[in-house]
Structure 1
Amino acid sequence: MRTFYSLLWYLLLPFLFLRLWLRGRKAPAYRQRWKERMAWGYRPGTLRRSLWVHAVSVGETLAAAPLIERLLADHPQTPLLVTTTTPTGSERVKALFGDRVTHVYCPWEVPSALKRFFRAFDPQLVVVLETELWPNLCAETKRHGARLMLMNGRLSENSFRGYRKLPRLVRPMMAQFDVLAVQTPVEAERYVALGAWPERVHAIGSVKFDMTLDEPVRQKAAALRADIGARPVWIAASTHPGEDEQVLAAHRDVMARHDDALLVLVPRHPERFDDVASLVRQQQMTVARRSAAEPPAQAQVYLADTMGELLMLFGAADLAFVGGSLVPVGGHNLLEPAAWQKPVLTGPHLHNFTAISQLLDEAGGLSMVNDAGALATTLLALFDDAARCRAQGEAAAGVVEANRGALEKGLTLISEQLTVNS
């Protein structure tokens, strides 16, 4: 089965390169560093006995940041390799860690590329994040003699059903993991059902609960809020196509009662920044762009068209809507606004964050809305009821505090794997 899978990847290569070129029309970074996708040009032995952490894009990189910082501190003699698959993830790695880590793109699932990659970077332990389950990567890890670990593993019901349709490909892959640190007992059961060894699966919680709001972030948030002034402020974070229109419609309803209200709008993908700015103007709303250092004080919409500032932006708002949830994307990280003690609003599509959303909902820290009208109604109710707003924010923050600890458990498991393979 994996032979057929590999052949399919070889056949798809021309189309994969074409896709990079097409995406590069709006995001030029996709047209750069193509050799890394095939692990061409690396010198064998570039690193020796490295620890490889694989994220995907910005979200996974930010979630892994505390883990990577601790690995740098706890294992200073072990070369640390961090890979992503997107340019935005690459930018975050470089901004957060600089030359303290080695960063390249993860190669595609082509056996020859993976062999070149392993010869160059020689990992002794491969740590993949969340749902980065790739049969050829897993097989090459074991062929190389390295340990294989899943960290912060999650598996939605939809993904579980999809994997179960390919048992001849998935079961051998799952059996190759030496340890799986997953978020919930339900997900642990799903991984076991897919073929993971039960004794290797540990439900330790989500490392996303272990985020910290350090003083520089707090200071930047306070400075931005001072620039905005004393007015109702809400943020719509990580929005997707089809969602911005609903967010702007809700904001129009909010402004009908609070004409000085400000929407901080943060599109998920940077190649959409210009399109979203045009959309705001088409809605006849005034817009200030953060990338151009335009002051937000007089604008109706503040377009946060920069990267790596979302956590800070939550701190400058009164209420937070997290996108990818009014459209069937599956939602994004609800815990960042919760850590700021902000009331969290979301749409109904939350299959990527089922457990976290349930915890927030049960604690009274989450408001779920189905459309633009419900979003506006909930925003207005919270803006007009300071006690309710404060209570919901405190409940959300309480969930974050009560569920910390996954990071330490995961670090212990990583240390054990490094010891086994030392």
Structure 2
Amino acid sequence: MLKILYRILWYIAAPLAVLRLLARARHERGYIQHIPERFGYLASYSAHNNAPLIWIHAVSLGETRAAQPLVQVLLDKCYNVQVLLTHMTPSGRALGEQLFGSRVLRCYLPYDMRGPVRRFLRAWRPVLGIIMETEVWPTLINECRYAGVPLVLTNARMSERSYHRALRFGAEVRQVFGSFTHVLAQSSVDAQRLGALGARDVTVVGNLKFDIKALPELAKLGRAWNMAIGHRPVWIAGSTREGEEAFVLDAYYQLGITNILLIIVPRHPQRFDEVAELIKHRGLKLARRSEWASASTIQSVHKTTTIAPLPDDVRVLLGDSMGEMQAYYAASDVAFIGGSLLPFGGHNLIEACAVGVPIVIGPHTFNFEQASIDAITSGAALRVRDSTTLARAVRIVLTDRTRRVAMGTAGSAFAARHRGAIHHTVDMLSALLPPMKP
């Protein structure tokens, strides 16, 4: 009965989903592009030229970053194979294009209806499907099983909140999770929850985000920005979500450090202008990365491009660019990881730890539960509750150089200690992957 209801709801929701895409396109043009792909209609049904095709679904930015090590291994070590990356958001698709260019194929994953999903599978004929993290679409999973496409849930995580929600669906959810060929979990807690939901052949392999390679070019770009900023303490609030910037700005006023530069990097590009207006409304002098350092790119760093000094009266730098988080972290003395002050579940703190910048996180990190606990335990991160405790933590880190260095060193060691998930993942997938290059 639930299956029938689910299908009916999707056919009702599909026209509304298109209207939502059109509405979101007012702020992010990418939402209006490639709409037929969301219904399984592709530009070319022979895009992969009969080569074995491995399909990886990475819904948005975070999952695309997590997929980076795996995609890199497949491109470097498998021969006569093509990789298809699917996404649900323009930001995820843009990052995939930035990371891999024409080396991978890309399209949007169709909506979870039988017709679109069947068209998608007929068009691409993947020999293996890899779903990143927590993307569970019942129709897609069932259709892959009927089509004989092995489907692996990779870098899988299951928060306590999502686990209890899923339990409400009883046998239906167990059938869905039981249809995965393998489940490769980030932690033993994730593995236990996924197994209780019906997943078979669950193995703990670790978190692929620890294996994301830091690009030397981005680190160099960040250092160039830092030099252009001058001798000022720099605090970054990265991957902030709606409503959090107000708390961050409240904390900024409470700091009592007059010459500090605050960098705010919203999670979603469609919010850049909105956040800029909020900063101006607070009476703070704003600069946008796209205007101040428009000539400073990864490519220009190789040519030792000189970046104009950031004016001393600029109090907030808006990070209105994509794919440069490593550079923002490298330019900073302390980092607050967004999505955690309000109940969004947090975002990836590993990237900042790997750069060696001290971390501050809020109370809501259920999407990165184990990594957050481990980072705090290792001395790399501090947890805060609100804007007042956020200001206090940032002040402690910025004014105590010994502690700041110790936290940064602990973060680098924490990130290095947990690397290796990519090797375990490839080992587990080896029976399903095409041959590796000699």
- Separation of aligned partners in 1, 2:247 and 2:83: 42
Post-superposition offset of 1:234:
0.7
Post-superposition offset of 1:376:
0.8
Match of residue 6 from structure 1? 7
SS where residue 134 of structure 2 aligns? coil
Post-superposition offset of 1:166:
1.1
CA contact (8 A) 2:65 2:212 kept: no
- Separation of aligned partners in 1, 2:398 and 2:28: 37
SS where residue 407 of structure 1 aligns? helix
Q: Choose the corresponding residue for 1:401, options 407, 416, 430.
A: 416
- Separation of aligned partners in 1, 2:34 and 2:56: 20
Match of residue 347 from structure 1? 362
Are residue 290 (structure 1) and residue 289 (structure 2) matched?
Answer: yes
Match of residue 216 from structure 2? 215
SS where residue 264 of structure 2 aligns? strand
SS where residue 432 of structure 2 aligns? helix
Are residue 336 (structure 1) and residue 351 (structure 2) matched?
Answer: yes
CA contact (8 A) 1:45 1:119 kept: no
Cα distance change on mapping 1:41 and 1:202 into 2, 3 Å: closer
SS where residue 324 of structure 1 aligns? coil
Q: Choose the corresponding residue for 1:374, options 389, 392, 398.
A: 389
Post-superposition offset of 1:328:
0.7
- Separation of aligned partners in 2, 1:36 and 1:344: 39
CA contact (8 A) 2:78 2:434 kept: no
Match of residue 319 from structure 1? 334
Are residue 272 (structure 1) and residue 278 (structure 2) matched?
Answer: no
CA contact (8 A) 2:117 2:140 kept: yes
Gaps of 5+ in 1: none
Post-superposition offset of 1:66:
1.7
- Separation of aligned partners in 2, 1:33 and 1:371: 41
1:180-215: per-residue Cα shift (whole Å, max 9, x none)?
110011111111111112xx1111110111122232
SS where residue 308 of structure 1 aligns? coil
Which amino acid is the alignment partner of residue 210 of structure 1?
A: D
1:231-287: per-residue Cα shift (whole Å, max 9, x none)?
100100011121101111111222x3x211100110111111111111111111111
Post-superposition offset of 1:42:
4.7
Match of residue 238 from structure 2? 237
How many residue pairs get aligned? The number is 416
SS where residue 266 of structure 1 aligns? strand
- Separation of aligned partners in 1, 2:93 and 2:44: 21
- Separation of aligned partners in 1, 2:91 and 2:231: 33
- Separation of aligned partners in 2, 1:196 and 1:268: 31
- Taking the TM superposition and a 5 Å limit, the aligned residue runs for 1:5-404 are 5-47=6-48, 48=50, 49-197=52-200, 200-254=201-255, 256=256, 258-293=257-292, 296-298=310-312, 299-404=314-419
Post-superposition offset of 1:155:
0.3
- Separation of aligned partners in 1, 2:324 and 2:44: 35
Post-superposition offset of 1:4:
2.7
- Separation of aligned partners in 1, 2:96 and 2:215: 18
SS where residue 367 of structure 2 aligns? coil
CA contact (8 A) 2:219 2:326 kept: no
- Separation of aligned partners in 2, 1:363 and 1:297: 37
Which amino acid is the alignment partner of residue 425 of structure 2?
A: G
SS where residue 353 of structure 1 aligns? helix
Which amino acid is the alignment partner of residue 268 of structure 1?
A: R
SS where residue 143 of structure 1 aligns? helix
Which amino acid is the alignment partner of residue 345 of structure 1?
A: V
- Separation of aligned partners in 2, 1:307 and 1:341: 21
Which amino acid is the alignment partner of residue 34 of structure 2?
A: R
- Separation of aligned partners in 2, 1:9 and 1:55: 21
Post-superposition offset of 1:43:
4.4
Cα distance change on mapping 1:302 and 1:43 into 2, 3 Å: closer
CA contact (8 A) 1:66 1:211 kept: yes
- Separation of aligned partners in 2, 1:379 and 1:345: 8
Runs of 4+ in 1 over 6 A off after TM superposition: none
- Separation of aligned partners in 2, 1:379 and 1:54: 37
SS where residue 51 of structure 1 aligns? strand
SS where residue 235 of structure 2 aligns? strand
Moved more, 209-218 or 68-77: 209-218
1:370-402: per-residue Cα shift (whole Å, max 9, x none)?
111111111111111100111112122221111
- Separation of aligned partners in 2, 1:35 and 1:293: 38
1:99-158: per-residue Cα shift (whole Å, max 9, x none)?
111000011101000110011100010000000111111111111111110110000001
- Separation of aligned partners in 1, 2:197 and 2:209: 25
Post-superposition offset of 1:341:
1.4
CA contact (8 A) 1:45 1:121 kept: yes
- Separation of aligned partners in 2, 1:311 and 1:283: 28
Which amino acid is the alignment partner of residue 421 of structure 2?
A: A
- Separation of aligned partners in 2, 1:36 and 1:223: 40
- Separation of aligned partners in 2, 1:404 and 1:333: 15
What RMSD in Å do the two structures reach over aligned CA positions?
Answer: 1.4
Task: Determine what percentage of the aligned residue pairs are the same residue.
Answer: 37
Post-superposition offset of 1:41:
4.2
